Amino acid sequence: MIAYLLGKPILQSSGLIMLVQGVGYGVMVSAKTLIALAARAEESKVELWIYTHVREEALDLYGFLKPEDKSIFQILLSVSGVGPRTALGIIEAGASAIIDAVQTANVAFFSSVPRVGKKLAQKIIIELKPKLGSLQELNLGPQNPQAADVTEALLALGFSDQEVQMVTQNLDFSGEFQSAYLIKQAIKLIGARK
């Protein structure tokens, strides 16, 4: 299974090819990701977090710029009736917006996505509420995007809600530090507690 690619993005009208050591991987990405990659076209290497979708007749790769977007994408796929293309359309709004829409039961948010009607939108909210609802307890809404980024990254790395909640209370989100530094500090704190 392919989970990560680091290479040169080649943008085409039909999608994206990631050139990795002479091999081109066709990767499906959202329109938002394509725009972001077009803006970074001068960079020699870009990293993509990959979800490999295997079917009888095909093996498809879906790419994301952030690991938390990949995690939310996988959670969306757990809802029956939501396929990879629909999940890709939903994930375009970003992980934070999706979590907020689930927590606030915003049916209009999901039904605005192509191929998602009102009933499927309601089903998504009902099925994702137990999986994403506990994030609301962390009190990391839009008022602190850096805290939300750190929380999503730690959850994507497999840490439990309880571990994340305990360590995020001890981190300084005043803006002095970058998210990557705070994530490393959080991992150290979690390791020290074990």
Name the CATH architecture for the domain at 67-135. Orthogonal Bundle (1.10)
List the domain boundaries for the chain. Answer: 4-64, 67-135, 139-193
Helices 118-132 and 95-103: angle between axes, nearest 10 degrees: 100
**Nearest partner of 105 among 84, 89, 82, 127, judged by Cα:** 127
Summarised one tens digit per residue, pLDDT across range 42-62 is 777 899 999 999 988 889 999
pLDDT at 60: 92
What pTM was estimated for this model as a whole? 0.64
Q: Which residue has the higher pLDDT, 116 or 161?
A: 116
- pLDDT of 189 > 90? The answer is no
Kindly list the distances between the CA atom of residue 179 and the CA atoms of 32, 145, 155, 187, 192, in Å, as whole numbers in the listed order. 22, 10, 14, 12, 20
Q: How far is CA 152 from the centre of its chain?
A: 8
Query: What fold, for 4-64?
Result: OB fold (Dihydrolipoamide Acetyltransferase, E2P) (2.40.50)
Q: Are 4-64 and 67-135 the same fold in CATH?
A: no
Q: Which residue has the higher pLDDT, 152 or 28?
A: 28
**Nearest partner of 159 among 181, 142, 183, 137, judged by Cα:** 183
Q: What is the DSSP pairing of strand 59-64 with strand 15-20?
A: unpaired
Summarised one tens digit per residue, pLDDT across range 69-83 is 898 899 999 998 899
Say how many C-beta atoms besides its own lie within 10 A of residue 168's C-beta: 21
